[in-house]
Structure 1
Amino acid sequence: MSIDCGHSFCRECITDLLVNQRQGTSSPKRSHCPLCRAPFKKDNLRPIKQLENLIECLKELERERLCEEHGEQLHLFCEDDGQLICWRCERSPQHRGHTTELVEEAALGYREIFQKALTELREEENQYQSLKLTTKEQIRQWREKIVHARSKIHFDFENLYNFLRVEKCYLWRLEREKEQTLKSLQDNEASLEKQIQELKSHIQELEKKCQGPAQDLLQDMRDTLGRSLTVKLNVPEAVSLELQTV
């Protein structure tokens, strides 16, 4: 409920406040906000539908986190099975003798593991980004070499008109060499970009896990860690920038 000054309280609390304040005052029509002491009337109490809807959504989320078998809260984490369980699950034959601990306590340890994996993935991403920048620079240098070589070939053969057909042959060979090497460099760039995107996907998944609730962090944590730890840098084969057509 919202009162005249804009502060909000649950219906039961503000109703109790009205009753207590009226018992000790001679003014039965007005009460005072416990936060700012501004006066307000009971008739001006207004429900906050947006907040009410939000609370219902949160309650629904809590209901979704109940144990499917027992309907109890998933307050425990089974280390042996890597599962969220309730207190009744812990006493069942399936989990008897297993190592269990409170979800929040388990999340502390695994959050550090996720953070470590996240750090390693970010380092690999930086390596990929560095390789991608190097490849872009190689492409730029290669293009400049081609421009320079083309200009030199044109200049040399301007003075050798009789070798015009030979000039065209060299230019054709140069063009073919350009396309072949450029394709290799662009393939390397595309490979690095693909691997960078894969790394970003794993990083986003781990960031979401680390920033979310403990239950979300521990849910399928082994699969998440397994996928992130198997990501390895596949460095493309180096491409020679030595010009063969001279």
Structure 2
Amino acid sequence: MASASTSKKMREEATCSICLHLMAEPVSISCGHSYCQACLLRFVGPPSSLPSEQDTETFSCPQCQALFQRGSLRPNKQLGSLIAALREQEQQQQQQLEQEEEQEQEQELSCEEHGERLHLFCEDDGQLICWRCERHGQHKGHNTALVEDVSPGYREKLQEAVRKLRQLEEECTNQKAFTAKQIAQWKRQKIQADFHNLRSFLREEERSYLRKLESEEQRTLQRLRVREANLGQQSRKLKYHIRELEERCQGSAQKVLQDVKGALSRSQDVRLETPEALSLEIQTQYKVPELYFELRKRLRSHQGT
């Protein structure tokens, strides 16, 4: 079986950079990068209404910004087989982990102070206690109940917290994919179309304007990448809280209740920081129409001569 570091490296290589999960039905584009088929189709959007243009539509790779066409998408069966093997390996590891956890759960927790079994739950302090803590200790007179009676209710609260965190995670993933699409689309500027008819005459002017745009482009892309990085960090934080609560839900009644109020409080404090809206309007001004007519006049003058 592969080592932990090797498995981690394999998972990183097999993770879709759009949804941050293992790729499902991976497809590759002309630059060599691969993504989930559904993620990439959602990224490029619906095809053109003209059948003749559907396969030749051009997009930018979310990772390296290299151009690719819709028709260049190819299923990566070899990568799909490796991902299937990786999933099977992780499933086996998960089953082994669950077996170990079950063995641990069979060993009931005991009170550190009195050595008695922790079969009661103090609602006032949110702690597992023994019968001696309830009668003689600091929990005397508190509202207590049997672990078996209160654990189902707290288990439902934990599962509800997981559901809300998953909604935040999905929203975060959608915003990250949208930001990645903005980064790719920003590089496709309308300015090239304005130079199409007289490209040979306007080449130097176009280069001049593109140089001016370069500094503006870097600033805009930097802000978008910072936002993308923030969303990635929030996504990892949400995954951590979800995993913590799911492991608690799958545990024994005592594990469910151990510091359960603290766990619920931490999950309720999680918020998704919505990125501020960024204007993608180009600020650099250019005067292609005036330049176009001036050059056309010069061309006619030259042809008349």
Do these two structures clear the TM 0.5 threshold for a shared fold by scoring above it? Answer: yes
Aligned to 1:77: 121
- Relative to structure 1, the CA distance from residue 84 to residue 168 in structure 2 (aligned partners, 3 Å threshold; closer, same or farther) is same
CA RMSD of aligned residues (A): 2.6
Instruction: Quote the Cα distance in structure 2 between the aligned partners of 1:89 and 1:95.
Output: 6
1:204-240 CA deviation, whole Å, 9 max, x = no partner? Answer: 0110111111111111112211111111111111121
The equivalences for 1:87-166 within 5 A come to 87-145=131-189, 149=191, 158-160=200-202, 164=204
**What is the DSSP-based 3-state SS (H/G/I as helix, E as strand, rest coil) of the residue aligned with 1:144?**
coil
CA shift, 1:143, in A, is 2.1
**What is the DSSP-based 3-state SS (H/G/I as helix, E as strand, rest coil) of the residue aligned with 2:145?**
strand
Instruction: Quote the Cα distance in structure 1 between the aligned partners of 2:155 and 2:132.
Output: 26
1:76-126 CA deviation, whole Å, 9 max, x = no partner? Answer: 111111111111111114112111111121111111111111111111111
Q: Contact 2:121–2:146 at 8 Å: present in 1 too?
A: yes
Instruction: Quote the Cα distance in structure 1 between the aligned partners of 2:158 and 2:254.
Output: 14
Aligned to 1:177: 216
**What is the DSSP-based 3-state SS (H/G/I as helix, E as strand, rest coil) of the residue aligned with 1:77?**
strand
Instruction: Quote the Cα distance in structure 2 between the aligned partners of 1:155 and 1:211.
Output: 66
CA shift, 1:62, in A, is 2.1
Aligned: 1:227 with 2:266: yes
Aligned to 1:190: 229
- Relative to structure 1, the CA distance from residue 112 to residue 215 in structure 2 (aligned partners, 3 Å threshold; closer, same or farther) is same
**What is the DSSP-based 3-state SS (H/G/I as helix, E as strand, rest coil) of the residue aligned with 1:179?**
helix
Count of aligned positions: 186
The alignment's TM-score, normalised by the length of structure 2, stands at: 0.55
Task: Give the letter aligned to residue 121 of structure 1.
Answer: L
CA shift, 1:136, in A, is 1.4
Instruction: Quote the Cα distance in structure 2 between the aligned partners of 1:68 and 1:142.
Output: 61
Aligned to 1:218: 257
Structure 2: any 5+ residue segments left out of the alignment?
1-98, 287-305
Task: Give the letter aligned to residue 109 of structure 1.
Answer: G
- Greater C-alpha radius of gyration: 1
The alignment's TM-score, normalised by the length of structure 1, stands at: 0.68
Task: Give the letter aligned to residue 183 of structure 2.
Answer: I
Instruction: Quote the Cα distance in structure 2 between the aligned partners of 1:223 and 1:71.
Output: 24
1:126-145 CA deviation, whole Å, 9 max, x = no partner? Answer: 11111111111111211223
Q: Contact 1:78–1:85 at 8 Å: present in 2 too?
A: yes
Aligned: 1:62 with 2:88: no
**What is the DSSP-based 3-state SS (H/G/I as helix, E as strand, rest coil) of the residue aligned with 1:159?**
helix
